[in-house]
Amino acid sequence: MKIAVLPGDGIGKEIVAEAVKVLNALGLKFELESALVGGAAYEAHGHPLPESTLRLARQADAILFGAVGDWKYDQLDRSLRPEQAILGLRKSLGLFANFRPAICYEQLVGASSLKPELIAGLDILIIRELTGDIYFGQPRGRRQAADGPFPGAQEAFDTMRYSRPEIERIAHVAFQAARKRSKKLTSVDKANVLETSQFWKDVLTEIHAQYPDVQLQHMYVDNAAMQLVKAPKAFDVVVTGNMFGDILSDEAAMLTGSIGMLPSASLNGSQQGLYEPSHGSAPDIAGKGLANPLATILSAAMMLRYSLNQPAAAGRIEAAVQKVLAQGLRTPDIHSPGTTRVGTAQMGDAVVQAL
Amino acid sequence: MKIAVLPGDGIGKEIVAEAVKVLNALGLKFELESALVGGAAYEAHGHPLPESTLRLARQADAILFGAVGDWKYDQLDRSLRPEQAILGLRKSLGLFANFRPAICYEQLVGASSLKPELIAGLDILIIRELTGDIYFGQPRGRRQAADGPFPGAQEAFDTMRYSRPEIERIAHVAFQAARKRSKKLTSVDKANVLETSQFWKDVLTEIHAQYPDVQLQHMYVDNAAMQLVKAPKAFDVVVTGNMFGDILSDEAAMLTGSIGMLPSASLNGSQQGLYEPSHGSAPDIAGKGLANPLATILSAAMMLRYSLNQPAAAGRIEAAVQKVLAQGLRTPDIHSPGTTRVGTAQMGDAVVQAL
Ligand SMILES: CC(C)[C@H](C(=O)O)[C@@H](O)C(=O)O
Ligand SMILES: CC(C)[C@H](C(=O)O)[C@@H](O)C(=O)O
């Protein structure tokens, strides 16, 4: 079981170190190899995703990823900015299926912006297509407008596009995930306006015929953004395109109030996957031992389950995380009166202890 | 002052009738003329935006719009569905600037999903570009993929695009609106991924030079979706493109918990505007006298202010709405224990009384 460890920037190093600590405590045999990615790689090699890092990622069964990005790279050309590393990894490895659970832990209900009764017990799974859509669609760029309201003016453009096989494969992933849960799938699109969305909706409806035991509901993206606020627990599994998924998965994550707890998995068709916390690189608190490592530790659990065929070990980690929460241990982002404030390493140690 | 009255479908008729009642009670001279739009127009004329309706709208100083749409039209070809009427009106009249206030009324704080301290006093203004972006960008359609991951496969595509003058004019509208409020403007984009967004950001930054007294902040759309949940009151004026604005304005509206209260205005460069409630046609409660007419009545107030140069009359309506809320009158959507439940017409009558 070969794992590429890519800590990245900001708090990435600290949180990945704790996840590695937890992996090493499982008593399993892993081959771990680290490499630079993001701003750290740009500084060392002039590119956020150097060839050597990409090679390591390709050869690994799974990638444990921290976070990338820092304001200090804002002025770089887009192709050199840290985020390109994550986009490049997704595309190069074909990681088309992004799993973003939004779970509200019993002990952290109070951290949410929402009233407790609306959020307690929340457990939804957003499945975001991750290698298509307007994120990667060609053509894109700047040019002189040939038509539109201001012909001749300078304009910028991007292409949203989805082909049938791209939609089919994410649809199968989503229906299968729904089958393992409550058998309710919500597909989010903007079919009343977009051709791509209408096609998405048509293909989802077709594939649904193969999953008659799953209930499929279509919802417009604007309405989904509203319903998530109004009654998040009405959702179970949600599937959507790359762009809408970016927005809705972050909205759903923030509803829980504790994004420091939320892992994610990005898979291709051969069980290879990239695992990263849902939160960012938080350069403002980097190096201070304040970051919450639990989202990364839970991402390592997802890695064991989805890419490394170690569901029992995954379950042990998840149970250990539940245990440290029950013990009242809290990093600053989830701290509340009456609980015990701990730092990044202490939290990692406590999870190891609880194993 | 010529007003085109387009009630539309579902609850549209009932709520527009109350707004007309209020307009008529102001003691001003209006020329009101009604026409069919949406599903109602499709049934009568075979098209959701008949030529006669469009002509009336063009000739009017302002359009008072109810709502369009009903599930029974879901199977129609997209070009004939009710929503096309609203898209057609926006495009034909060049209504590029959409004002979507998200206001939480003091008496309705409890209706929100959010904890009271996070939402009480919320008063933000989302300015959404309304005639460009992927909503109208050509080319769009279905074809065989020439490249991408599955060359030769069937695909659907849309074009996101913004030209410099389109961005400039909405930027001016937004900076001017911010100047009249707290002088804080947040521009939302996805410049880390999209060419169109990078251009949007560049042009916003350029135009900012003409408004040095306004503070400009750029925010990625996924982060904006999160921050709206986490701390909505940190925003004041938000400006964004058509697609992101569709999602964020609805999210922000639902944060208040009382979308039955939220008006909207869509303006072109010559003060002509379309005014409609932020909510939809709610066919499930249509004709039952249950709908909340206040969003439409407040839209009429916006109409008086922005298109008809009657700010005093607008203020009178807004004060009257505040008064009926203070009296404890509530339609079912905003009813809570201890308040008085009223129907659509009673609510309209109460506003007239309060004038
Ligand atoms: C960093 C950025 C390119 C990325 C995205 O938009 O996909 C991030 O927001 C995410 O959701 O993983
Ligand atoms: C009905 C639909 C086409 C429309 C839009 O997407 O603009 C609506 O959602 C809105 O926001 O006014």
The helix/strand count (H/E) of chain A reads as: 12, 14
Q: φ, ψ for residue B329 (rounded to 5)?
A: -80, 135
Q: Decide if B49 contacts B327 (C-beta within 8 A).
A: no
Q: Is residue B14 part of a domain?
A: yes
> B199 and B70 in one domain?
no
Q: Decide if A178 contacts A237 (C-beta within 8 A).
A: yes
Q: Using CA coordinates, name the residue in chain B closest to A200.
A: B156
From A209, A235, A256, the end of a domain falls on: A256
Helix (H, G, I), strand (E, B) or coil at A103: strand
Catalytic residue among B73, B135, B211, B275: B135
Q: Is residue A104 part of a domain?
A: no
> A281 and A306 in one domain?
yes
Mean pLDDT of B301-306: 98
Could you report the per-residue pLDDT of B79-121, keeping only the tens digit for each? 999 999 999 999 999 999 999 999 999 999 999 999 999 999 9
Mean pLDDT of B162-167: 98
Q: Is residue B148 part of a domain?
A: no
> A339 and A301 in one domain?
yes
| pLDDT of B122 | 98
> B61 and B187 in one domain?
no
Count how many residues are written for chain A: 355
What ligand has the least distance to the C-alpha of B69? 2
> A252 and A222 in one domain?
yes
Q: Residue B27, Cα to own-chain centre: how many angstroms?
A: 27
* Helical segments of B60-148, H only: 83-93, 116-119
**Residue B74 confidence (pLDDT) above 90:** no
Q: Is residue A330 part of a domain?
A: yes
Residues 6+ apart with CB under 8 A from A258: A104, A105, A108, A111, A112, A333, A334
> B180 and B118 in one domain?
yes
B286 is in an annotated binding site: yes
CA distance A308 to A1: 7
**Residue A245 confidence (pLDDT) above 90:** yes
Token pair 């627990």 is at which residue?
Answer: A233
**Residue A276 confidence (pLDDT) above 90:** yes
Here the tokens at position A273 are 């996957």
| pLDDT of B309 | 96
Q: Is residue A169 part of a domain?
A: yes
Could you report the per-residue pLDDT of B198-236, keeping only the tens digit for each? 999 999 999 999 999 999 999 999 999 999 999 999 999
Q: Is there a catalytic annotation at residue A135?
A: yes
Residues 6+ apart with CB under 8 A from B224: B186, B188, B238, B240, B244, B248
- Give me Rg for the CA atoms of chain B: 20
CA distance A241 to B92: 30
Q: φ, ψ for residue A19 (rounded to 5)?
A: -65, -40
| pLDDT of A74 | 85
Q: Is residue A134 part of a domain?
A: yes
* Helical segments of B112-163, H only: 116-119
Q: How confident is the model at residue A75 (pLDDT cuts 50, 70, 90)?
A: confident
Q: Is residue B155 part of a domain?
A: no
> A51 and A2 in one domain?
yes
| pLDDT of B121 | 97
> CATH number of the domain that B193 lies in?
3.40.50
Query: Which atom of ligand 1 lies closest to the CA of B220?
Result: 9
Q: Is the dihedral of CA A317, A320, A324, A325 positive or negative?
A: positive
B79 contacts in A (CB within 8 Å)? none
CA distance A291 to A296: 11
Q: How confident is the model at residue B11 (pLDDT cuts 50, 70, 90)?
A: very high
Q: Decide if A8 contacts A37 (C-beta within 8 A).
A: yes
> A202 and A275 in one domain?
no
Q: Is residue A344 part of a domain?
A: yes
> B221 and B125 in one domain?
yes
The angle at the Cα of B265, spanning B260 to B269, to the nearest 5 degrees, equals: 175
CA distance A331 to A339: 10
Query: Which atom of ligand 2 lies closest to the CA of B276?
Result: 12
Mean pLDDT of B153-157: 98
Q: Using CA coordinates, name the residue in chain A closest to B118.
A: A113
> B267 and B250 in one domain?
no
Here the tokens at position B215 are 């503070």
Distance (Å) from the alpha carbon of B327 to chain A's nearest alpha carbon:
26
Mean pLDDT of A224-252: 98
Query: Structural domain of residue A355, as residue ranges?
Result: 1-97+263-355
Count how many residues are written for chain B: 355
A250 is in an annotated binding site: yes
| pLDDT of A308 | 97
Asked if A193 lies within 8 A of B162 by C-beta distance, the reply is no
Domain count, chain B: 2
Residues 6+ apart with CB under 8 A from B221: A246, A247, B188, B189, B190, B240, B244, B247, B248
> B128 and B235 in one domain?
yes
Could you report the per-residue pLDDT of A24-38, keeping only the tens digit for each? 999 999 999 999 999
- Residue of A197, A222, A226 to test ligand 2 pocket, by largest number of atoms within 8 Å of CB: A222
| pLDDT of B37 | 98
Q: φ, ψ for residue A264 (rounded to 5)?
A: -155, 155
From A207, A234, A256, the end of a domain falls on: A256
Here the tokens at position B227 are 């921050």
**Residue B75 confidence (pLDDT) above 90:** no
Mean pLDDT of B269-283: 96
> CATH number of the domain that A88 lies in?
3.40.718.10
Distance (Å) from the alpha carbon of B99 to chain A's nearest alpha carbon:
16
> A275 and A251 in one domain?
no
A289 is in an annotated binding site: yes
From A256, A290, A317, the end of a domain falls on: A256
Q: How far is CA A154 from CA A289, B148, B354, in A?
A: 47, 26, 52
Q: Is there a catalytic annotation at residue B222?
A: yes
CA distance A243 to A24: 36
Residues 6+ apart with CB under 8 A from B11: B66, B67, B281, B282, B283, B285, B286, B287, B291, B344
Here the tokens at position B131 are 């005639």
Q: With an 8 Å Cβ cutoff, is B206 touching chain A?
A: no
